[in-house]
Homo-oligomer: A and B are copies of this chain.
């Protein structure tokens, strides 16, 4: 193995990313040094938050560099090992470059077991996606039995798990998604009590009121923008808003504006808390074992949209913004 296909950031996207913002390139691979392993990409996670890393704005995580590989959560196979901790044939998950092959020092990777769950699940329900749903809903939202939870992006990777955890905790769960097919998925497969198709709904405020006549206690927000406004218009006293994602805003080229939230927060003693899953790194073990338990017990189902082919990663990422995925969007790399 002397070289590998790699996907680089070609331009910082303006607005919605296009495939020309990416470039597939051949990268030299050096010889394996002591302590290093050679990895072959198996599954690539594409996630809305990566859009933020494509800008050059400072954030909780460094921006991608131009003409350098994109990276995200991936599952890979150890093809060669000069590291005592890994054997050829091991599977690992971690933040890896979008390269078919890569050399790695073995740090900050987790071994994953293909017999416990399909490899792709370690990027979804048993990976950052599941953990995001778990800690966001339970640690910030603190739902109590009998409360009403509203979830946007409900048929997406995180949302589809949030709803199911909400049901496990004895809540009424209402999901918002962008097609009738997704709404059906919500109620038939993910246990949601009700679904609202925001694309065919004129007055979201009224639709939420109708779906949740007693108001919303917890709002798990994956989208931001006008749907957040409508959720806040229906929030109950002591409501909790989990600011997890704002996919409706990520491609805006100007500072988005909207109704100010502060009076609602004060009048109703509402909490809004933003987070990123890295905050909970110390507790990942707890989260994964709970999620795996529910998965084994059949209390949790998970849905993936698998796109075939390493080269398709940029398009799969772009398709997130038009909601082409149901559940977790994953690229099968080999």
**Chain A interfacial positions (CB closer than 8 Å to B):** 52, 59-60, 221, 224-225, 228, 237, 243-246, 249-250, 255-276, 279
Contacts and interface: CB of A to CB of B under 8 A. Distances in A.
A277 to B, nearest CB: 10
Contacts of A246: 260, 262-263, 266
A256 B260 CA distance: 6
Given A257-B258, A260-B225, A273 B267 contact: no
A251 to B, nearest CB: 12
Nearest to A243: B265
Contacts of A250: 263
Contacts of A269: 60, 273-276, 279
Nearest to A224: B262
A263 B49 CA distance: 11
Q: How many copies does the complex hold?
A: 2
Given A52-B267, A267-B52, A272-B272, A259 B257 contact: yes
Given A258-B257, A258-B260, A272-B272, A245 B228 contact: no
A263 B261 CA distance: 14
A274 B228 CA distance: 17
Given A268-B274, A276-B269, A263 B224 contact: yes
B259 A255 contact: yes
Secondary structure of the A side of the interface? mixed
Residue from A250, A260, A269 having most chain B Cβ neighbours under 10 A: A260
B276 A266 contact: yes
A257 B264 CA distance: 13
20 contacts: A52-B267, A59-B267, A60-B269, A221-B262, A224-B262, A224-B263, A225-B260, A246-B263, A246-B266, A249-B263, A255-B259, A255-B260, A257-B258, A258-B258, A261-B261, A262-B274, A265-B273, A268-B274, A269-B275, A272-B273
A78 B59 CA distance: 60
Contacts of A257: 257-260
Nearest to A223: B262
Contacts of A228: 262
Q: Which of A221, A228, A275 has the most CB of B within 10 A?
A: A275
B279 A274 contact: no
Contacts of A270: 273-274
B262 A249 contact: yes
Closest 4 CB pairs of A and B: A265-B274, A266-B274, A224-B262, A243-B265
A132 to B, nearest CB: 11
Contacts of A224: 260, 262-263
Given A246-B263, A256-B259, A271 B271 contact: yes
Given A246-B260, A269-B279, 12 more contacts: A52-B267, A59-B267, A60-B237, A60-B269, A224-B260, A246-B263, A249-B262, A257-B260, A269-B274, A270-B273, A270-B274, A271-B274
A273 B243 CA distance: 13
A236 to B, nearest CB: 11
A249 to B, nearest CB: 6
